[in-house]
């Protein structure tokens, strides 16, 4: 599909053209902004190697399992390992021929992350968010994550942020607390109150 | 004869009265509108919306939950046409084909007409597809009564192979995804021996991985991360969404009938075949309509018939994809795999027993697929653009935290377990990596669903036949399914040979 990009998607497309093509074909290179660029074929090869290692670990973990219970997983692991080997060989062949892009047709730059800095920020925020839900409660944690994420991603209009946040939290409250009566992680400022549904951790098995 | 027909289709009448209860009507209306909103937002898909919805529907009646899923499915498939026509941005993958003629029509001031054509064509495609589901699923469910453990084992292997090989562009990656899903399905205690497999002593994993946790992680988290990465802080302007009154589709309906027929035919065909999807149906319907048209040059330049073929094709795939899902437990597309997961979550096992034990639910779902298609006419078209599609004016950076918040609350409320929330986050990162490296996600889910069935039926076959492996190849049905599986697996190699032979012939010629 070959149409001019409308302004709506422009940031994605412009972000992909930061690193020169020549540097990307080298496999591991540094772009104009000193970003490490790992080519598609290199990442494919690394993925295949990691998965092969995973297959070996999983195979060994079945050593103590009775034969009837390990038959099927071992068969799947065997097929998986064969596929990983074929995949690895194909990636290495592509690398040898200098074909590093997803389609294998031309040495165009490809990057794993759409925007590495923002990706790191989002993942850090998500980890912080789940920890905050555990420590401070669902609504407090979500409110913090909501504001932090939108502001860090460059959106600074506080009124729309707060209105959207209030509407979203009201929706969650109505659906999960009022309608379904599901307990959510309790808010830190309400602990000790008997009127609020209490979070219960279940133990599996 | 009449008695047999009544046995097969009589439950439809009974289910109709259940579907028309107010809770179900509200569910299908809400689902259809929500689907249109989700479909109109580029980057969000019906699969993601249903994955997020499933935990929200646990306490609901299964038919209410399925009604919402049916609405989201049909609504999202149509909703993708809105940005495709107005902005040349496909809201969902199949609506790429709609951009070919829809956008040029909008450019010359016919946006409202194009939206009306897309709406009516989607409704017709969805209706024809729902009728095919009602006609074919009950008899096929009866046929499956002839299946034993060996046949069910091959059904699972065939379904998984076809989804893995045909769904994505790279069969090796598809098969690797399927293996990954199968391995995930084996985490926990073995049901026969009680030994733990791949749990590594973690007590939280002994019960196995919850399907919803994996589903939400793989489908909901990656698009939200990408949305945040893109950091689009501006929504569309009111001008972008301004449209005039437009012509009437009814006045020109005769011109669209051949396109609707082709769209309906290809949509149903593609839907029934496991591993294919709405994009292929839309492409086939569009290409065939173009090939048989007198004015082929007008296609791609704003021919209304092109919009009709593409939209009818992609919606005609929807309900048809549920035929193998409801009867055999093998979904025909990624979205139907997620709906199948929704059925399993509500304790409904696909197959003939579903038709026997829960006729109101299974037949009710078929009627809901039909009703939600018809509802598109009432809620779609320019009306949708003037109302629901105004959500496109919201900066998309605001949507990402909402998706994260919904995913966390949905997964937490499954078992009140924060461990599962962490697990979902982990699967979200795995899903992100898979998406960037172009590994298809649907085979993972299907592997997770079908892995247990395949292993159970294999062990049962070997147990009954005292460990004799030839029992897997004894019946004609087993042999046919084995042959089809082999054909599917060898298909990429055969295709490569054929292409090479053609290339060599061209070079010689």
Q: What is the pLDDT of residues A20-46, one digit of tens each?
A: 433 433 333 434 444 545 677 888 899
Domain that holds residue B468: 14-508
Q: What is the pLDDT of residues B212-245, one digit of tens each?
A: 889 889 988 998 999 898 888 777 777 777 776 7
Assess whether pLDDT exceeds 60 at residue B310.
Answer: yes
Assess whether pLDDT exceeds 50 at residue B256.
Answer: yes
pLDDT average, residue stretch A72-96: 92
Amino acid A192: pLDDT? 67
User: What is the distance in angstroms between the Cα of B338 and the nearest Cα belonging to chain A?
Assistant: 22
Look at A205 and B412 and tell me if their CB atoms are within 8 Å.
Answer: no
- B282, B408, B437, B467, best to mutate vs chain A, most A CBs in 10 Å: B408
Q: How confident is the model at residue B26 (pLDDT cuts 50, 70, 90)?
A: very high
Q: Give the chain B residue whose CA is nearest to the CA of A204.
A: B204
Look at B198 and A1 and tell me if their CB atoms are within 8 Å.
Answer: no
Looking at the partner chain, which of B206, B231, B416 has a beta carbon nearest the beta carbon of A118?
Answer: B231
Is residue B61 included in any domain, yes or no?
yes
User: Which chain A residues contact residue B458 at CB under 8 A?
Assistant: 72
Is residue B232 included in any domain, yes or no?
yes
User: Which chain A residues contact residue B193 at CB under 8 A?
Assistant: 65-66, 68-69
Look at A61 and B198 and tell me if their CB atoms are within 8 Å.
Answer: yes
User: What is the distance in angstroms between the Cα of B416 and the nearest Cα belonging to chain A?
Assistant: 6
Assess whether pLDDT exceeds 90 at residue B427.
Answer: yes
Q: How confident is the model at residue B278 (pLDDT cuts 50, 70, 90)?
A: low
Q: How confident is the model at residue A140 (pLDDT cuts 50, 70, 90)?
A: very high
Higher pLDDT among residues B273 and B439, named by residue: B439
Assess whether pLDDT exceeds 80 at residue B491.
Answer: yes
Comparing A77-81, A176-180, B404-408, B424-428, which segment has the lowest mean pLDDT?
A176-180
Amino acid B430: pLDDT? 96
Look at A123 and B230 and tell me if their CB atoms are within 8 Å.
Answer: no
Assess whether pLDDT exceeds 80 at residue A108.
Answer: no
**Cα(B75)–Cα(B463) distance, integer angstroms:** 46
User: What is the distance in angstroms between the Cα of B378 and the nearest Cα belonging to chain A?
Assistant: 26
Amino acid B132: pLDDT? 93
Is residue B446 included in any domain, yes or no?
yes
**What DSSP element (H or E) covers A37?**
strand A36-38
User: Which chain B residues contact residue A70 at CB under 8 A?
Assistant: 197
User: Which chain B residues contact residue A65 at CB under 8 A?
Assistant: 190, 193, 195, 197
pLDDT average, residue stretch A119-137: 95
Q: Give the chain B residue whose CA is nearest to the CA of A142.
A: B405
**Cα(B405)–Cα(B398) distance, integer angstroms:** 12
Is residue B101 included in any domain, yes or no?
yes
Q: What is the pLDDT of residues A158-172, one digit of tens each?
A: 998 999 999 999 989
Higher pLDDT among residues A26 and B254, named by residue: B254
Q: What is the mean pLDDT of chain B?
A: 86
Assess whether pLDDT exceeds 50 at residue B108.
Answer: yes
Assess whether pLDDT exceeds 60 at residue A59.
Answer: yes
Q: How confident is the model at residue A149 (pLDDT cuts 50, 70, 90)?
A: very high
Whole-angstrom CA distances from B189 to A73, B43, B193 are 13, 37, 8
Look at B96 and A44 and tell me if their CB atoms are within 8 Å.
Answer: no
Amino acid A17: pLDDT? 35
pLDDT average, residue stretch B286-311: 89
Amino acid A100: pLDDT? 58
CB atoms within 10 A of CB B7: 11
Look at B418 and A168 and tell me if their CB atoms are within 8 Å.
Answer: no
User: What is the distance in angstroms between the Cα of A197 and the nearest Cα belonging to chain B?
Assistant: 12
Look at B229 and A102 and tell me if their CB atoms are within 8 Å.
Answer: no
Query: By the CB < 8 Å criterion, does A173 face chain B?
Result: no
Phi and psi (nearest 5°) for B326?
A: -75, -30
Per the CB < 8 A criterion, the answer to whether B61 and B67 are in contact is no
User: What is the distance in angstroms between the Cα of B417 and the nearest Cα belonging to chain A?
Assistant: 5
Look at B87 and A76 and tell me if their CB atoms are within 8 Å.
Answer: no
- B164, B220, B228, B426, best to mutate vs chain A, most A CBs in 10 Å: B228
pLDDT average, residue stretch B377-393: 78
Alpha helices, H only, B20-95: 22-40, 46-56, 62-79, 81-87
Q: What is the pLDDT of residues B120-155, one digit of tens each?
A: 999 999 999 999 999 988 888 888 888 888 988 998
Return all residues near B420 (Cβ < 8 A) that are at least 6 apart.
B204, B210, B213, B411, B412, B414
CA atoms within 13 A on the CB side of A136: 12
User: Which chain A residues contact residue B227 at CB under 8 A?
Assistant: none
pLDDT average, residue stretch A132-155: 94
Q: According to the 3-state scheme, what is the secondary structure of B316-365?
A: HHHHHCHHHHHHHCCCCCHHHHHHHHHHHHCCCCCCHHHHHHCHHHHHHH
Amino acid B236: pLDDT? 72
Q: Please state the ipTM of this predicted complex.
A: 0.79
Q: Which residues numbered 117-146 in A keep a CB inside 8 Å of some CB on B?
A: 118-119, 122-123, 126-127, 129-130, 133-134, 138, 142, 145-146
Q: Is B195 exposed, middle or buried (0-12, 13-18, 19+ CB in 10 A)?
A: middle
Query: By the CB < 8 Å criterion, does A69 face chain B?
Result: yes
Q: What is the pLDDT of residues B314-360, one digit of tens each?
A: 899 889 988 988 888 877 677 888 888 888 888 888 877 888 888 88
Looking at the partner chain, which of B205, B230, B451 has a beta carbon nearest the beta carbon of A11?
Answer: B230
Amino acid B353: pLDDT? 80
Q: How confident is the model at residue A83 (pLDDT cuts 50, 70, 90)?
A: very high
pLDDT average, residue stretch B285-311: 89
| Number of domains into which chain B is organized | 1
Torsion over CA: A76, A81, A86, A88 (sign): positive
Looking at the partner chain, which of B205, B228, B232 has a beta carbon nearest the beta carbon of A11?
Answer: B232
Q: How confident is the model at residue A7 (pLDDT cuts 50, 70, 90)?
A: very low
Amino acid B335: pLDDT? 82
Is residue B5 included in any domain, yes or no?
no
Helix (H, G, I), strand (E, B) or coil at A187: coil
* Helix B171-185 with B442-464: angle, nearest 10 deg: 60
Look at B231 and A11 and tell me if their CB atoms are within 8 Å.
Answer: yes
Per the CB < 8 A criterion, the answer to whether B33 and B379 are in contact is yes
Buried b (16+ CB within 10 A) or exposed e, B409-444: bbbbbbbbbbbbbbbbbebbbbbbebbbeebbbbbb
Phi and psi (nearest 5°) for B188?
A: 115, -165
Assess whether pLDDT exceeds 90 at residue B190.
Answer: no
Q: Torsion-angle region of residue B109: left (phi > 0), alpha (psi -120 to 50) or beta?
A: left
Looking at the partner chain, which of B182, B203, B437 has a beta carbon nearest the beta carbon of A47?
Answer: B437
Per the CB < 8 A criterion, the answer to whether B66 and B43 are in contact is no
- A5, A8, A113, A157, best to mutate vs chain B, most B CBs in 10 Å: A8
Q: What is the pLDDT of residues B197-212, one digit of tens each?
A: 998 888 889 988 988 8
Amino acid B106: pLDDT? 86
Assess whether pLDDT exceeds 60 at residue A106.
Answer: no
Nearest alpha carbon to residue B249 among B265, B240, B241, B260: B260
Phi and psi (nearest 5°) for A28?
A: -125, 115
Higher pLDDT among residues B164 and A148, named by residue: A148
User: Which chain B residues contact residue A163 at CB under 8 A?
Assistant: none
Look at A3 and B226 and tell me if their CB atoms are within 8 Å.
Answer: no
């Amino acid at each position: 599909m070959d149409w001019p990009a409308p302004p709506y998607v422009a940031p994605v497309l412009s972000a992909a053209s930061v690193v020169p093509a020549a540097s990307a074909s080298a496999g591991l290179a540094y772009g104009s902004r000193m970003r490490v660029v790992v080519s598609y074929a290199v990442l494919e090869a690394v993925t295949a190697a990691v998965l092969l290692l995973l297959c070996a670990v999983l195979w060994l973990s079945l050593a103590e399992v009775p034969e009837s219970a390990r038959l099927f997983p071992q068969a799947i692991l065997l097929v998986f390992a064969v596929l990983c080997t074929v995949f690895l060989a194909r990636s290495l062949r592509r690398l040898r021929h200098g074909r590093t892009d997803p389609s294998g047709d031309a040495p165009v730059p490809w990057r794993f992350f759409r925007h590495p800095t923002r990706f790191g920020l989002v993942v850090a925020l998500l980890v912080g968010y789940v920890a905050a839900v555990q420590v401070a409660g669902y609504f407090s944690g979500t409110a913090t994550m909501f504001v932090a994420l939108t502001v860090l991603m460059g959106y600074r209009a506080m009124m729309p942020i707060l209105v959207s946040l209030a509407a979203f939290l009201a929706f969650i409250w109505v659906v999960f607390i009022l309608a379904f009566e599901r307990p959510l992680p309790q808010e830190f400022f309400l602990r000790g109150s008997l009127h609020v549904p209490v979070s219960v951790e279940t133990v599996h098995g | 004869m009449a008695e047999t027909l009544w046995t097969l289709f009589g439950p439809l009448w009974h289910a109709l009265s259940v579907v028309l209860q107010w809770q179900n009507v509200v569910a299908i209306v809400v689902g259809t509108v929500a689907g249109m909103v989700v479909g109109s937002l580029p980057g969000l898909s019906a699969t993601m919306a249903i994955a997020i919805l499933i935990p929200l529907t646990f306490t609901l009646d299964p038919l209410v939950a399925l009604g919402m899923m049916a609405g989201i499915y049909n609504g999202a498939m149509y909703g993708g046409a809105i940005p495709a026509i107005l902005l040349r941005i496909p809201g969902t993958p199949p609506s790429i084909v709609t951009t070919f003629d829809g956008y040029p029509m909008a450019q010359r001031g016919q946006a409202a007409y194009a939206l009306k054509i897309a709406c009516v064509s989607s409704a017709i495609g969805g209706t024809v597809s729902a009728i095919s589901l009602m006609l074919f699923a009950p008899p096929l469910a009866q046929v499956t009564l002839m299946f034993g453990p060996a046949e069910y084992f091959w059904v699972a292997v065939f379904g998984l192979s076809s989804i893995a090989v045909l769904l994505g562009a790279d069969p090796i990656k598809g098969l690797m995804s399927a293996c990954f899903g199968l391995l995930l399905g084996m985490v926990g205690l073995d049901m026969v021996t009680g030994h733990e497999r791949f749990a590594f002593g973690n007590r939280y994993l002994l019960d196995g991985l919850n399907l919803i946790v994996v589903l939400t992680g793989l489908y909901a988290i990656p698009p939200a991360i990408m949305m945040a990465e893109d950091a689009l802080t501006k929504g569309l302007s009111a001008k972008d969404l301004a449209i005039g009154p437009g012509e009437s589709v009814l006045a020109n309906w005769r011109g669209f009938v051949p396109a609707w027929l082709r769209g309906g035919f290809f949509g149903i065909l593609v839907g029934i075949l496991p591993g294919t999807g709405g994009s292929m149906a839309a492409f086939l319907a569009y290409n065939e309509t173009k090939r048989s048209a007198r004015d082929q040059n007008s296609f791609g330049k704003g021919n209304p018939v092109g919009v009709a073929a593409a939209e009818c094709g992609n919606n005609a795939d929807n309900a048809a994809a549920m035929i193998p899902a409801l009867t055999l437990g093998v979904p025909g597309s990624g979205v139907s795999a997620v709906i199948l997961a929704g059925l399993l979550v509500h304790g409904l096992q696909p197959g003939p027993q579903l038709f026997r034990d829960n006729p109101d639910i299974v037949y009710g779902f078929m009627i809901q697929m039909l009703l939600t298609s018809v509802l598109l006419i009432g809620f779609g078209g320019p009306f949708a653009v003037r109302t629901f599609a105004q959500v496109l004016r919201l900066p998309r950076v605001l949507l990402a935290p909402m998706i994260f918040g919904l995913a966390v609350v949905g997964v937490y409320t499954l078992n009140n377990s924060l461990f599962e929330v962490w697990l979902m986050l982990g699967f979200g990162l795995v899903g992100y990596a898979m998406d960037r490296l172009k590994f298809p996600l649907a085979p993972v889910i299907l592997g997770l669903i079908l892995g247990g069935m395949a292993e159970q039926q294999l062990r049962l076959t070997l147990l009954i036949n005292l460990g004799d492996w030839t029992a897997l190849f004894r019946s004609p049905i087993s042999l046919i399914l084995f042959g089809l599986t082999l054909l599917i697996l060898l298909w990429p190699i055969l295709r490569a040979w054929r292409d090479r032979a053609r290339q060599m012939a061209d070079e010689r010629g």
